Amino acid sequence: MAGILEIWEMVTEIIRKVKRLAVSSQEISIIVALISQIASRINLLALRSLRLPEGKAVKVLVL
């Protein structure tokens, strides 16, 4: 009976860790999305700040 109890405790601990990992993964995804938005805005600002001769155009590649 002690063996079953030990297995149950290990499974319970694994479940707790997996749930915590899922929460951490969601938080990381939010941070990565925020960094991506900031990078996109910085790139747009950089493009807008380019000074080109009159009549010249800039080709923009959106990734």
Q: What is the mean pLDDT of residues 31-42?
A: 96
Is residue 63 a part of any domain in this protein? no
| pLDDT of 5 strictly over 70 | yes
Is residue 22 a part of any domain in this protein? yes
Residue 25 structural domain = 7-43
Is residue 23 a part of any domain in this protein? yes
Phi, psi of 61 (to 5 degrees): -105, 120
Q: What is the mean pLDDT of residues 8-17?
A: 98
Is residue 52 a part of any domain in this protein? no
Is residue 55 a part of any domain in this protein? no
**Confidence bin at 55 (pLDDT 50/70/90):** low
Is residue 17 a part of any domain in this protein? yes
| pLDDT of 58 strictly over 90 | no
Cβ neighbors of 52 (< 8 A, separation 6 or more) are 58
Is residue 12 a part of any domain in this protein? yes
**Confidence bin at 57 (pLDDT 50/70/90):** low
Domain count, the chain: 1
